[in-house]
Amino acid sequence: MNRHLISAADLSRDDALLVLDTADELARISDRPIKKLPTLRGRTVVNLFFEDSTRTRISFEAAAKRLSADVINFSAKGSSVAKGESLKDTALTLEAMGADAVVIRHNASGAPHRLAEWVRGSVINAGDGAHEHPTQALLDAFTIRRRFGRSSGSGTGPPGAGPGRGEALDGLRVTIVGDILHSRVARSNVLLLHTLGAEVLLVAPPTLLPVAVDAWPCSVGYDLDAALPKSDVVMMLRLQQERMNAAFFPSVREYSRRYGLDSARMAQLPERAIVMHPGPMNRGVEIAAGVADSPRSTVVEQVANGVSVRMAVLYLLLGGAEADQ
């Protein structure tokens, strides 16, 4: 693997499978009475968050602590950033503190890339603007593989139902629905799922698709009802109204009627299909409460799997790289 994880495009097929297989091994620690390993003892991981976050920040913190790393949580609110300090000056401060890895979430696309030029430690992109969120894509792929897995203890699906440990997601049909335009999760998932062999379909109103979406390694559709019967995985995206500065659709009610996943639409899915959502959810808008809480939903699993996947990323960037030298 590279020294940094800034984009899902940074991962080759072998790199992605290595992360997923490592996460599979580390997930077993969650079943132990003591959920810690000494792997990163003496290393320092800084969570540098310029945007509000609950799941991602706590997930990275839990992952680092389970690997015995020292964790420093940095929030832009109440810090020198609020007084006008630049990202570069913040980076130089972290460098002086000896940070081995910096996990950054920033509202500006490209911020992690710039940060990687200023620090010697590894940089992990935890979400930059509407650009990318690679560890979310990894945990989504990990969740899909477990649900369709055939290795012992790694999946809930029937034997031979689909990819398992050591395997990619070849042939699986993944439909990503909703606000593609403002979603960093969608971009990272398209890149990673394509790398792992899945067929990806984006479904959204034309106004919520990026201008250059034709260059993405996926297909595009506008009819959710037509896509559902052919989908193994349906990933619903949150409608990010806080990022919208124009009228992208007539009303939230109209959007929900055409692109929301309710019980009637879920009944159109194949029997083994699953429903995903990266969170936070707008219940009653893009996903009905009954769908979000159904056995087919992987929302809670995604949160739990996020810790294992981020442990794997930290281990491979900090511990695994050193062990191979």
Catalytic residue (one of 55, 65, 230, 296): 55
Measured at the CA of 17, the angle between CA 51 and CA 180, to 5 degrees, comes to 40
104 Cβ contact list (under 8 Å, min separation 6): 48, 49, 50, 111, 112, 115, 123, 124, 125, 126, 128
Query: Alpha-carbon distance 189 to 191, whole Å?
Result: 5
- Strand 70-75 versus strand 101-106 pairing type: unpaired
Whole-number Å distance between alpha carbons of 12 and 196? 9
Helix (H, G, I), strand (E, B) or coil at 267: coil
Residue type, 119: V
Q: What is the rounded CA–CA span in Å between residue 34 and residue 28?
A: 11
Catalytic residue check, 105: yes
Catalytic hit among 4, 43, 66, 105: 105
Q: Considering 39, 44, 56, 135, which one is annotated as catalytic?
A: 56
d(CA 276, CA 203): 14
Question: Two tokens at 243?
Answer: 């990022």
The tokens for 206 are 């034309």
Q: Which residue of the set 4, 57, 131, 133 is catalytic?
A: 133
Q: Is 133 a catalytic residue?
A: yes
**Residue-wise over 289-300: b if at least 16 C-beta within 10 A, else e?**
eebbeeebbbbe
Query: Is residue 134 classed as helix, strand or coil in its secondary structure?
Result: helix
Cα–Cα dist 130/108, whole Å: 8
Type of residue numbered 207: T
Residue 83 is a catalytic residue = yes
Residues 6+ apart with CB under 8 A from 147: 155, 156, 157, 274, 298, 301
- Does the annotation mark 55 as catalytic? yes
Q: Which residue has the tokens 């477990």?
A: 146
Q: So which residues are the catalytic ones?
A: 55-56, 83, 105, 133
